[in-house]
Amino acid sequence: MPIRVTIWNEFRHEKKKEAVAKIYPKGMHEAIASYLREASDLSIKTATLDEPEHGLTQAIVDQSDVMVWWGHVAHGEVQDAIVDRVHKRVISGMGLVVLHSGHFSKIFKKLMGTSCDLKWREEENEREILWVTRPGHPIVKDINDHFILPREEMYGEYFDIPEPECTFLISSFGGGEVFRSGCTWTRGAGRIAYFRPGHETFPTYHDKNVLKVIENAIRWAAPTPGPVAQMFGNRKLGWVG
Amino acid sequence: MPIRVTIWNEFRHEKKKEAVAKIYPKGMHEAIASYLREASDLSIKTATLDEPEHGLTQAIVDQSDVMVWWGHVAHGEVQDAIVDRVHKRVISGMGLVVLHSGHFSKIFKKLMGTSCDLKWREEENEREILWVTRPGHPIVKDINDHFILPREEMYGEYFDIPEPECTFLISSFGGGEVFRSGCTWTRGAGRIAYFRPGHETFPTYHDKNVLKVIENAIRWAAPTPGPVAQMFGNRKLGWVG
Amino acid sequence: MPIRVTIWNEFRHEKKKEAVAKIYPKGMHEAIASYLREASDLSIKTATLDEPEHGLTQAIVDQSDVMVWWGHVAHGEVQDAIVDRVHKRVISGMGLVVLHSGHFSKIFKKLMGTSCDLKWREEENEREILWVTRPGHPIVKDINDHFILPREEMYGEYFDIPEPECTFLISSFGGGEVFRSGCTWTRGAGRIAYFRPGHETFPTYHDKNVLKVIENAIRWAAPTPGPVAQMFGNRKLGWVG
Amino acid sequence: MPIRVTIWNEFRHEKKKEAVAKIYPKGMHEAIASYLREASDLSIKTATLDEPEHGLTQAIVDQSDVMVWWGHVAHGEVQDAIVDRVHKRVISGMGLVVLHSGHFSKIFKKLMGTSCDLKWREEENEREILWVTRPGHPIVKDINDHFILPREEMYGEYFDIPEPECTFLISSFGGGEVFRSGCTWTRGAGRIAYFRPGHETFPTYHDKNVLKVIENAIRWAAPTPGPVAQMFGNRKLGWVG
């Protein structure tokens, strides 16, 4: 059975800024989706903010094994009820891959418990080098010891996240800043990955290394098949022995 | 300068149930506070749900180095604005020691990002043995390799928390259940400890080992003196090099 | 391509004690191996202490994706050169599943960096209940929220191990002790699991839950296919930018 | 009672290379020691490789609360018996602060369980920027959000260490590399910090930020006073309940 993936995108920049539309004529979600559709073990859907229920009806969420999340200017427009729905699904096992400015999304902040704040610099067209810090991890399968994005937006530490369970990529930028660009956590039965690159004015989601990491992250975050044993509800217990 | 501690208690059971009032005539917070007031390096305040702003005005929160939290039946009555205030203060360095049924408090769930759910059993009166699983940690200073509470309420795994940074106590119960009874996490600059014992119908907060762990946890969770360097706000950066 | 598994057993008790031989006539390794051979994605070999090079020639080690390790009375007889060979292979990606008294093996202590000491009690015929503390983890696939071994040897905390990256099982024993019975770590590119049960005088390796956890652990610990990028050697670097 | 600190230095470069001797006429250990002696809560001793028992007699080790370790060309000359002595003392609570090329010392590798390998570049006189990634941690007390070393040797990822319990500093170098320059772990009751800077041909141990981090690390790593309860020995247990 394929892994059922829902790629969620705010999809605003692409409709409003010509420069962005040029790079992603059908939206960033479609750039990612069209790459992933080549993989026979993945079944790809997309959803965007301006669809009813943001494209995340209960049925869609229930049928998602992994969700990919990109947002930026409209985090506040995402309804709390939808965030709670996604959160509940993560706790019960759905994987979540949060991209770039998604660090400030409601769902990521709710899962992390921190401010998710960071340093940044106005688009400067900077070189980013991403270094692998956990070789052998499934998320960096087929990735060399580093890869370079010639132009990206700088994100710098301190990135206010809980100590990651695994830091698999650390970036340096032209200005000498560093950033934990690839991190993982577990929340309930759900696996969460944050992956930094993806500023909308650069062709980052056409980069083969970036796409490969997203693909790997989806497979890594997919839930273990089968029931999650007796985890839910405020359970009153009898005697087991 | 002493560590400024605010002990927050829901303070409802003590007012409504005679059995509880007998054990804690002035409330559980006062049982804990009166013990802690013996320590010359601690400055103790208390606050309770039914005070204005739950006793947690901005000034009180700003002047707290560590907060201790007990709640149970009235988690839902704690105002979201107050929860946000406490959360923000934890991120900027205040320590938080969450006790027993506080596992389901809004503040703990907000910091953890999980459901914080667990198993439990009505029948009271069970023996709990708490085993030290991180000897040498400041939170278990002067605690033997284990201690016993003759009567407590059972809490059982799975406890839906993020993988702790440190698990310092694990309990077993009369029924054969186990529970991670002492755990720590960091959120922003704030240190958080969860400590399980403290069912309101037992004299747990008169137990010397329990009080000692709370005292140790407060010292461990106290913020590092001095400013927390340039962490806050969504910071636009110039060039450092 | 199947996962190539080497099950290593000290294989002394079975040859010397009639009671053990009765339970495991061909050795504990064969009890485990015969179960695993049913899985079409696993290719099973065994190796024992008294074979040349303990059955762990360079070729065998190089062709192992995952190793399972049981030892007890003869840890000291395992040659350091063989331990170093296995250690090097773990760092470069081989998974390692350490069972029961293997906690005191040279290879486990070398990977952990601690004493790996624990409390124990002379065979007492005690009930062990193992509780799942990380539902959704691949290692507990198809395991209920707990399972019971009617007779096992007690191991108790403090277990001197580094804070696990994941604790997936915690046991309680008849005497009220607790133990972190399922733990994982990463060392280099290698994934390591410790799984507690398996005292030689009990039929533990005929228990279907125990066998299932071992099977799951092997799949979880199997290396990510493909090269581990530029990790090894003391590497002098040129300029990447 | 002051914290008893032993600063261990290989002390070979300073005796053989004039360039190094110019920067550290009495050795790197004395540069660090003379700074630390200003702190009234620290009691400072030094020890070097060529002293009898490398200056680490049983008495000296037993009376050390924290040890600082610098080594480079002569790791192999440190006797295994002395390494075991120091290791045993760390497990029972002594703190250890490992500096720079000490990453390849026998004691650090024994505690980590990994190869501790890394990338490096021939002395290139590069700018290193160290960014704080855990504000509020006692080790970065009084350190700004970053500090700069104008000339240092490059160390690059992948650094083969177990996932740190806390990463408090990450560096970038002139060449665009990154490195986890400040990390902590626990082994037994002992706290361990690794701190990267300190190539012998640069005046790094005269830098006030570097010295401050070492000072902070010592206080953080100091053992909790009092006995470490019943942790040691292979303990046969009776019944506790």
Span B38-86, pLDDT tens digits: 999 999 999 999 999 999 999 999 999 999 999 999 999 999 999 999 9
Residue of A nearest to C95 (CA): A136
pLDDT at D32: 98
Sequence-distant (≥ 6) Cβ neighbours of residue C106 within 8 angstroms: C75, C78, C80, C83
pLDDT in tens, chain B (241 residues): 899 999 999 999 999 999 999 999 999 999 999 999 999 999 999 999 999 999 999 999 999 999 999 999 999 999 999 999 999 999 999 999 999 999 999 999 999 999 999 998 876 678 999 999 999 999 999 999 999 999 999 999 999 999 999 999 999 998 899 999 999 999 999 999 999 999 999 999 999 999 999 999 999 999 999 887 656 444 555 555 4
**In the complex, which subunits touch B with 3 or more CB pairs below 8 angstroms?**
A, C, D
Tell me the sheet residues that pair with B6.
B45, B67
Kindly identify which residue of chain A lies nearest to residue B231, measuring between CA atoms.
A158
> In degrees rounded to 5, what are phi and psi of residue D79?
-65, 140
Contact criterion met (CB < 8 Å) for D158 and A135: yes
Burial class (CB in 10 A: 0-12, 13-18, 19+), A145: buried
Place of tokens 């000897």: B135
Is D232 at the interface with chain A, CB within 8 A? Answer: no
Residue A150 has a CB neighbour count (10 Å cut-off) of 11
The pair of three-digit structure tokens given for residue C20, joined into one six-digit string: 């053990």
Which amino acid is present at D225? Answer: P
Asked if residues C131 and D129 have their Cβ atoms less than 8 Å apart, the reply is no
Of D145, D165, D230, the CB nearest to B145: D230
Task: State the average pLDDT over residues A116-121.
Answer: 91
pLDDT in tens, C60-96: 999 999 999 999 999 999 999 999 999 999 999 999 9
- Return the pLDDT at C101: 97
* Cβ–Cβ below 8 Å for A172 and D163: no
Instruction: State how far the Cα of D102 lies from the Cα of D86, in Å rounded to an integer.
Output: 14
Residue C95 near residue C194 (C-beta atoms within 8 A): no
pLDDT at residue D188, rounded to an integer: 96
Please report which residue ranges of chain D form alpha helices under DSSP H: 13-16, 18-23, 28-36, 58-62, 80-91, 106-112, 208-221
Q: How far apart are CA C157 and CA B167, in angstroms?
A: 12
> How far A204 CA lies from chain B's nearest CA (Å)?
22
Residues 6+ apart with CB under 8 A from B218: B3, B5, B36, B42, B66, B68, B95, B97
pLDDT of residue C126: 86
Residue ranges of the alpha helices (H) in C188-239? 208-221
pTM assigned to the model? 0.96
Amino acid occupying residue A155: Y
Peptide bond before B158: cis, by omega within 30 degrees of 0?
yes
pLDDT of D232: 46
- Of the residues B149, B152, B158, B173, the best mutation for testing chain C's interface (the one with the most C CB atoms within 10 Å of its CB) is B158
C85: phi then psi, degrees, rounded to nearest 5: -65, -45
> Smallest Cα–Cα separation from D117: which of A198, A54, C236?
C236
Dist CA B97 CA B7 (whole Å): 9
Q: Which of A93, A100, A13, A2 is nearest to A45 (CA)?
A: A2
DSSP-assigned letter for residue D159:
P
The chain A residue lying nearest D163, using CA atoms, is A166
Q: Give the distance from residue A127's alpha carbon to the nearest chain C alpha carbon, in angstroms.
A: 9
Q: Which of C117, A235, D100 is nearest to B154 (CA)?
A: A235
Closest in B127, B132, B223 to D136, CB measured: B223
B237 touches chain D (CB under 8 A): no
Provide the pLDDT for residue D4.
Answer: 98
d(CA A31, CA A19): 15
Going from the C-alpha of D76 to that of each of C82, D73, D102, D153, the distances in angstroms are 21, 8, 12, 22
Is D190 within 8 Å of B223 when comparing Cβ atoms? no
pLDDT in tens, B17-41: 999 999 999 999 999 999 999 999 9
pLDDT at A231 over 70: no
Instruction: Work out the burial of residue A58: count CB atoms within 10 Å of its CB; fewer than 13 is exposed, 13-18 middle, 19 or more buried.
Output: exposed
Residue type, B101: S
Pairing of strands B155-156, B166-173: unpaired
Left, alpha or beta for C147 (phi > 0: left; psi -120 to 50: alpha)?
beta
Query: Region C207-214: what's the mean pLDDT?
Result: 98
CB-based contact (8 Å) between B178 and chain C? yes
Which of D 75-114 lie inside 8 A of B, CB atoms?
Answer: 93
Nearest chain D alpha carbon to B144: D229
Q: Is A55 left (phi over 0), alpha (psi -120 to 50) or beta?
A: left
Predicted pLDDT at A239: 56
In this structure, what token pair is assigned to residue C198?
């398996």
D191 SS3 class: strand
Residues 6+ apart with CB under 8 A from C72: C10, C12, C13, C100, C101, C102, C104, C200
User: CA-CA distance, A224 to C12, in Å (whole number)?
Assistant: 37
| Res B123: pLDDT | 66
- What's the pLDDT band for A234 if we cut at 50, 70, 90? very low
Q: Give the Cα separation of B10 and B54 in Å (integer).
A: 9
Tell me what percent of the residues of chain A surpass a pLDDT of 90.
Answer: 89
On whether the CB atoms of residues C94 and C190 are closer than 8 A, the answer is: yes
> Is residue D229 exposed (0-12), middle (13-18) or buried (19+ Cβ within 10 Å)?
middle
Q: Is A53 helix (H, G, I), strand (E, B) or coil?
A: helix
Mean pLDDT of C166-187: 96
C-interface mutation test, from A66, A96, A147, A240, most C Cβ less than 10 A away? A240
- Nearest Cα residue in chain B from C174: B176
**Measured between CA atoms, how close is C114 to chain B, in angstroms?**
13
pLDDT in tens, chain D (241 residues): 899 999 999 999 999 999 999 999 999 999 999 999 999 999 999 999 999 999 999 999 999 999 999 999 999 999 999 999 999 999 999 999 999 999 999 999 999 999 999 998 876 678 999 999 999 999 999 999 999 999 999 999 999 999 999 999 999 998 899 999 999 999 999 999 999 999 999 999 999 999 999 999 999 999 999 888 656 444 555 555 4
Cβ contact D117–C176 (<8 Å): no
User: Rounded distance, CA D193 to CA D219, Å?
Assistant: 11
Residue type for position D40: S
| Residue A111 confidence (pLDDT) above 70 | yes
Helix (H, G, I), strand (E, B) or coil at A169: strand
Q: Is the preceding peptide bond at A155 cis, omega within 30 degrees of 0?
A: no
Nearest CA in chain D to C126: D239
The CA distance from B222 to A162, in Å, is 18
pLDDT of residue C229: 61
Q: Does B167 touch chain C (CB under 8 A)?
A: yes
Mean pLDDT calculated for residue range A170-186: 96
